[in-house]
Structure 1
Amino acid sequence: MSEIKYVTVTALTKYIKRKFDVDPHLSDIWIKGEISNFNLHSRGHMYFTLKDEKARIQGVMFAGANKSLKFKPENGMKVLLRGEISVYEQSGGYQVYVKEMQPDGIGSLYLAYEELKKNLQKEGLFDTIHKKPIPKYPNQIGVITSPTGAAIRDILTTINRRFPMAKVILIPALVQGVQAGASVAKAIKTANALETLDVLIVGRGGGSIEELWAFNEEIVAREIFASQVPIISAVGHETDFTIADFVADLRAPTPTGAAELAVPHFNELLDRISDRKNRLKRSIREKITSNRDKLSHYQGSYAFRYPKQLYQQKEQQLDTIVDRLQKEGRRAITHKKDSYVALKNRLGNEHPSDQVKRANEAYLSLLKKLNREMSSVLTHKTSQFKATIDKLNALSPLKIMDRGYSIVYQEKQLIKSINQVQSGQMLKVQLKDGQLDCQVKGIEERTINE
């Protein structure tokens, strides 16, 4: 039976937490419910319980995320949250880490806003590359807003104060209500059809998300993106952001701010013109002084006072240079000719037919030398061979047997001593012209005197 392996509570909790963290459905989730047990920590973090009729979950919204909230959460408040689900390891409980929070009363609008914002951003309508520059000195400025609201008064007052020579053309549109989105989109088309506007301000004053909703509609966003006239978006207050703000070429915090971004300040232009005028005068004076000094220098120079003498000197210098050029030219031509003759002679010596002839002569000479060497080697080797043959003949047993000697064997063993045989033993005697089978009859020892 295998041994049971136990895990620690910490290891189990870490394992469960990893399961939560890798689940894509839990990394970005929308939840709605009622807040209870709300606690605002001294460090700015918010801790609470989110519940409905049948369940509850712990929630935390850190200070970095909740500092942009436009309302204060309270117990009993119904809210819409966006966040991620994970496990708090110390308690082993799962909880929602909140990134965004809105009151549930505007939850559907906020969801629609976020969905459209995500889709348009994915299409590239917010990309900086599509932003058109705002002209510095516009002649005609179009304004799309309500003709009776405070926004148009603020825009006209600001433009007349800062840049009164600009002409403002009001293109009225509904900026609140069911038909407002279509009205604003139609006004943008009308402004582009005029073909005289340098810049276009689109906006209205502040309000709730329902009141500003016309500028969160897709029809308005796409018309702003398609506009050939640069558009400054001026919707609501500084803290209000709409889809129109992200698509427009430039966002202004307020309608007054849009007017300030659309035109320069007349007094600032006058100051800038005055400054450049002074700088231009100073530059002209410095240029005149510098050129006057150069003229005085030239007037006092030798060339200006004695042009004829200078001309004659230059003529002599030219003659010297021409003579030197001709001399160097002749020297170069002579050098080239010598090089040509040397190359021609070298080419003649290296002609293929001459090389073949010299190679053939060398071949014949080497062939004769080879024959001589071969003949000498053959004669020498023949003499060595004859001497070796004579030496072999002198040492050959057959030559010894010619003089009457014989060789005795006993079963292929050479008999060299009487100690190797016994009486009656059969032996073989090799003679010059044959072999004898013999039997030992007797053995007689003989002493060999040295």
Structure 2
Amino acid sequence: MDKHGATPVTASFQDTRPRALSVSELNHQARHLLESSFMQVWVEGELSGFSRPSSGHWYFSLKDRRCQVRCAMFRGFNQHVRDIPKEGDQLRIRGKVTLYENRGDFQIIVEQLEPAGLGALQQAFEALKHKLQAEGLFDPARKKALPALPRHIGVITSPTGAAIHDILTVLARRCPAIPVTLYPTAVQGQAATADIVRAIEAARDHGVADVLIIGRGGGSLEDLWCFNEEQVARAIAGCPIPTVSAVGHEVDVTIADFVADLRAPTPSAAAEKISPDQRDWLKQLQDGETRLANAARRALKRGATQLEHLAARLRDPRRELLEKTQRMDELELRLAKGIRQRLAGLRVHQEHLGQRLAMQSPRAQLTRSHDTLRRIEDSLSAAIRQRLRERRENLEHSAQTLHVVSPLATLGRGYAIVRDEQNRIIRQASEVAPGAVINARVCEGDLTARVTSVNSGET
């Protein structure tokens, strides 16, 4: 407080003017505004003030009757331009609108440059297209059919590009069993043309791929130009392996698309077109498995019915043997009975003769009669022996015949009758599986064994 009791007040002043931008801030904001407002533009005009410093970049202006705009085309883009433009040329450029902040210059960063009108690259494209078409290289009749099931796929593209990644991703999803060989090549720039031709020749000489995918990802007309070169087109047309062109995006069209055996809109679509879907295979396999199982069940049922029918008709060989033995016994009894009857008859006759002899009594006649009787007895004995020998030979022959047809004789030669656990006769190796228990009837006794392996191949 002062001597008068008042409190002193200090006066202060605040700057209320708007904040001023720095020149750098202004240019930066202007550049951001331009670049966000204009994505890509095509501009046509007359070239003026063209310069080529040692950096390799191009600087020039495009003008019309009233205005002009500054342009910069950096070395990474202008190296694809075939003919260097000259003062006064009418040009079409594609690029991004921006601001060169250091000087505050409004300019266009040029990415593609071509003569106004149709354009040099497009003119070259149309000229080569008409030339090759006239030669018949686009004729559908000369195009080769792609294999329905490729055994090996060849891919001609850059090893670092997106195309090879897309192709391998699709193939891994659809049919990972198909092997893939990459024939690496440049797919952009001046060296790409010869590189692609060499890759096609390498795939041809390698001889493993039965279909080739040739392509790359999207890009400008200049980026894709190597696929519009005549050398590449003729290499694709002359390749003995079916080829698929997969260059760029769906809207991109190249000469390679016309000469290839098939054109795919993208590399991923190419992999889709040439590869079968393993899910379809799995379904077909499952359907075939079901049909095979049903057919096997029907065949087994028919076989079982046929086996039962044959088993009913098949006679037991032991029964046949018993019948033959019984018949032999019957013949033997009949033979013995015949002999006895014959001897009894002869004995009766002998007694009758003795009676007649006794009645006649002459000794000489008796002696002749005795002689006659001895001869008759000798003849009878010989006849009996002969008959017995014939009967015995017939009996032995019948026994031998019976022994030949007997399964016991077959078993005696080293064969066996093999039955499974259900006592069914096994005729083929395919009727048993490893681990099954089988019974083998041999000449003297039975054997029980377990199957360790089955070989059903013919010898």
What range describes the TM-score normalised by the shorter chain of this pair?
Answer: 0.3 to 0.5
TM-score (norm 2): 0.40
Structure whose alpha-carbon radius of gyration is higher: 1
TM-score (norm 1): 0.41
